[in-house]
Amino acid sequence: MSILSDTIFKLYLNHLSNIIILREPGKMRENEVATFVTGQQLGLLGGPLYTTYKALGTLHYAEKSKGKAVYWLETNDADFNEINQIHYIDSDKNLRSLKWDIDSKGYSCGSILVDKKLVSILNEFFNTIIVTEHTSELKGMALDCYVPGRTLGEASACLAAKLFEDFDLEIFDPSLADFREFSRQILLNEAERTSEGEQCNLFYMEGNKRRAVFKKGGKYVDRKGDEADLFSSVLVPSLKTRSICQDAYFLTASYIAGPGEVKYLNELGPNFKFHNVKPAEVIPRMSIDLLEPSIKRVFGKLGINISDLYRINRDEMIRSKLKDLTGFDKKELILRSGTIVENLMSELKDIGLSADKLGKKLKSEIKELIGIKRKSEKEKSESVIRQIEMLYKHLRPFGKKQERVFNVFYYMNLYGGREFIKRIYDRYDNSIKLMETGNE
């Protein structure tokens, strides 16, 4: 499709506004109370813990203001490799990952079909975690939603509704026709304002695939340079227009955001102004580490604080604690023994003796002796090493923050089923960084 001239294009936009009966921003919602929104891309079993924290934050602030809470389930995102894994600690206390390894065909994640392979992965998760009184119910909940033939968007919406059924939380899917109709005008306006040679802040749908759009040579084209028909295609927001469409549609009072979102949302002021949309107040979400009773005891035994885990990597922590407990420091021994050998070689040289071979042999044998001593000391301290490794598995898995790796099912299974979510909600507080899971 060749693009119309700017004048004709503007006339088309005005015509389009009349024929599809676009509402004024937010009118279709007819809000009587303030609306609090958060959102996140899809994730298996509800995604990482911080997704739960965002949803609970929305409920928390909505309750305080007697408003409405909305959870935007981002079905349009197409980065499948970010959401196709489950990480957890299994019944053997091993940090474990399960991956739904399929060809996503570049589809928007909400359009990908649940298959038997995913069901098998979910079964493996529930069959390898610690069995508790809650395991069977949670497994049934998950498998009731992840049914082969359903889209991942449908399954995720089903699961979110079950997880938060005790709360007044609206689960919103932006692939719904009403929203796409509403946001279309904003996205066409965004396309019009795009500078020549730049990528537009929107996508057009080709079946289940999102296609990037560029303004080039007086045309709208895809990444390959083929012409893109924006007038007849379904259009969906990109990162920079999602919030604009969202806040126009919901008349959002506040948006509960993660750290990365806070940064980019604060940079979108000019974009909101262009579209004449009032941006929502941005409220950072709660960010906490969940501290289990057994892990709390380990901190006490080792005499360290959780803040130490943020500053020191696992290997350095092990080395430091072994040195504290045994006085053994491999690096220090290597340095001191190396100095002794160098001094000895220097003195032998001073009296006219060449002992290079002796020096090499001494260094080799000292290295071996240090290895033997290190092994002996390590065997004495195996319990300490296991305890430190346990801390990092639970609180810094794969070197990342806990909330970015584990999902809420792992903790619900151990600490009260869905009631565990209610306990987090009751204790929601942006100022805290640590929350104990409760009694064993």
What is the spatial distance between Cα 350 and Cα 340, in angstroms, rounded to a whole number?
15
Q: Taking 50 as the threshold, does the pLDDT of residue 8 lie above it?
A: no
**Token match 């040195």: residue?**
323
Radius of gyration of the chain (CA): 29
> Which burial class, exposed, middle or buried, applies to 348 when counting CB atoms under 10 A from its CB (0-12, 13-18, 19+)?
middle
313 phi, psi to nearest 5 deg: -75, 165
Closest listed residue to residue 167, CA positions, set 437, 428, 422: 422
3-class state of residue 265 by DSSP: helix
Q: Which two tokens stand for residue 150?
A: 């359903």
If DSSP codes are grouped into helix, strand and coil, which group holds residue 350?
A: helix
- Torsion sign over Cα 127, 133, 138, 139: positive
More confident residue, 350 or 278: 278
Q: For residue range 367-418, list pLDDT tens digits in order.
A: 888 888 777 776 777 888 899 999 999 999 999 999 999 999 999 999 999 9
Under 8 Å between Cβ of 100 and 84: yes
Does the structure show a pLDDT above 50 at 24? no
Q: Is the pLDDT of residue 181 over 90?
A: yes
Helices (H) and strands (E) in the chain, counts: 17, 13
pLDDT in tens, 264-279: 999 999 999 999 999 9
> Per residue in 197-252, pLDDT tens?
999 999 999 999 999 999 998 899 999 999 999 989 999 999 999 999 999 999 99
Are 58 and 70 within 8 A, CB to CB? Answer: yes
Give the three-state DSSP class for 176. coil
pLDDT of 5 higher than 70: no
Longest dimension (CA), the chain: 102
Q: In DSSP terms, which residues pair with 89 in a beta bridge? A: 95
- Across the range 72-101, mean pLDDT stands at 95
**pTM of the full structure:** 0.81
